């Protein structure tokens, strides 16, 4: 831990000495991965699939920033702009026989359609944010502690730095993956004279008006020591700056993996006669352009920023 000592100010014979202990923390609401969630970034085996054959297993990645994915429902698959293209490809390759559409098969866990968070959400502040006068005000309060006498001293533990608390409220839910909970990174641009760019993790639910809260802290603990002048009572005054900054953002969801077609009778593949006939075939969703398999969760954000670290010595 880095420790340093500085004299912040001297006024009316009163000296304030500051000892700094730097700490940085990021916290968010706890996130429980849903039981039905598919693990992120699975590797899919190539089709065709023999009856009863098992695909690649969904192994968890050690990357803590990896997006959280869910198994896509059959109804949501049909909502994709590119769904008809998947059906067309299946008919061209495997014929027009009757089939049951699936997004997951317990016997083929590596062949599934998943919906995942695609990268961090970027926050955009409302216009005028650069002017602190629009969103910030200062509050002056007594720092706890008082001293009287010729050689009196008092030591106070105070905080210096910034704490930000962001509340995200869903303004428009994505039409796919409704009610699912996702964990995502949210990126906040820096604001001049307030804080630098930072990212934090938060869990959100794809439901209109649902809210989530996340906190980012970059603060230093200060040991403040004052010595009084003879016959005076001295106080340390703390100046706290409080800001409320509004903004917007969106979380991108993307569908990946495979659509499963389980035919009523065995069928082959047009382009590979040697593949033989099977009941189950898959069509890669990833072949579709991103815009044909993407949805967005839009949100409003209220960012509460508290800045500490300005002190005044007052002796009366």
User: 79: which strand partners?
Assistant: none
Question: Among residues 248, 281, 286, which one has the least CA distance to residue 49?
Answer: 281
| Tokens, residue 216 | 């980012």
Pairwise CA distance, residues 24 & 254, whole Å: 33
Domain span at 20:
1-316
Contact between 109 and 57 (Cβ < 8 Å): yes
Higher pLDDT residue, 304 or 230? 304
Confidence of residue 42 (pLDDT cuts 50, 70, 90): very low
Residue 297 has pLDDT above 80, yes or no: yes
Q: Which is it for the CA torsion 35, 40, 43, 47, positive or negative?
A: positive
Say whether pLDDT at 21 is over 50: no
Mean pLDDT of 64-73: 72
Contact at 8 Å (CB) between 273 and 214?
Answer: no
Question: How deeply is 176 buried, as exposed, middle or buried, from its count of CB atoms within 10 A (0-12, 13-18, 19+)?
Answer: buried
How far is residue 21's CA from residue 158's CA, in Å, rounded to a whole number? 11
Spatial separation of the C-alpha atoms in residues 136 and 192, rounded to whole Å: 13
Q: Cα(136)–Cα(304) distance, rounded to whole angstroms?
A: 10
270 phi and psi angles, rounded to 5 deg: -60, -45
pLDDT value of residue 109: 80
**Residue-wise pLDDT tens digits, 207-246:** 999 999 988 888 887 777 777 666 777 777 788 899 999 9
Separation CA 90–CA 86 (nearest Å): 6
pLDDT (tens digit per residue) in 80-94: 999 999 999 999 999
Burial of 77: CB neighbours in 10 Å, binned 0-12, 13-18, 19+: buried
pLDDT digits (tens, 9 = 90+) for 169-213: 999 999 999 989 999 999 999 888 888 899 999 999 999 999 999
Cα–Cα distance measured from residue 133 to residue 258, given in angstroms and rounded to the nearest whole number: 52
Which residue is it, tokens 């192994």?
59
Q: Is the pLDDT confidence value at 66 over 90? A: no
Count of domains forming the chain: 1
- Helix, strand, or coil here: 43? coil
Give the SS3 label for residue 243: strand
Q: Mean pLDDT throughout 110-116?
A: 94
The mean pLDDT of 124-143, rounded to a whole number, is 79
CB 294 within 8 A of CB 118: yes
């Amino acid at each position: 831990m880095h420790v340093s000592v500085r004299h912040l100010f001297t006024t009316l014979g009163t000296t304030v000495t500051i000892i700094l202990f730097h700490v940085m923390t990021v916290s968010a609401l706890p996130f429980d991965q849903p039981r039905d969630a598919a693990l992120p970034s699975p590797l899919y085996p190539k089709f065709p699939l023999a009856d009863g054959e098992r695909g690649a297993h969904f192994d968890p990645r050690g990357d803590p920033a990896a997006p959280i994915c869910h198994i896509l429902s059959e109804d949501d698959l049909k909502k994709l702009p590119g769904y008809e293209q998947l059906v067309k490809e299946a008919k061209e390759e495997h014929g027009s026989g009757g089939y049951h559409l699936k997004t997951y098969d317990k016997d083929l866990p590596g062949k599934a359609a998943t919906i995942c968070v695609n990268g961090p959400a970027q926050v955009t502040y409302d216009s005028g944010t650069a002017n602190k006068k629009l969103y910030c005000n200062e509050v002056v309060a007594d720092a706890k502690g008082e001293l009287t006498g010729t050689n009196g001293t008092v030591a106070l533990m105070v905080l210096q730095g910034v704490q930000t608390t962001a509340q995200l409220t869903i303004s428009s839910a994505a039409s796919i993956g409704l009610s699912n909970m996702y964990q995502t990174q949210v990126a906040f641009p820096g604001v001049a004279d307030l804080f630098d760019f930072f990212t934090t993790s938060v869990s959100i639910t794809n439901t209109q008006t649902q809210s989530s809260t996340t906190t980012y802290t970059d603060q230093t603990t200060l040991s403040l020591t004052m010595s009084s002048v003879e016959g005076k009572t001295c106080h340390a005054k703390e100046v706290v700056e409080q800001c409320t900054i509004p903004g917007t953002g969106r979380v991108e969801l993307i569908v990946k993996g495979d659509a499963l077609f389980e035919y009523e009778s065995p069928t082959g593949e047009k382009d590979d006669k040697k593949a033989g006939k099977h009941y189950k075939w898959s069509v890669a969703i990833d072949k579709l352009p991103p815009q044909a398999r993407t949805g967005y969760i839009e949100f409003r954000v209220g960012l509460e920023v508290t800045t500490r670290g300005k002190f005044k010595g007052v002796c009366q």
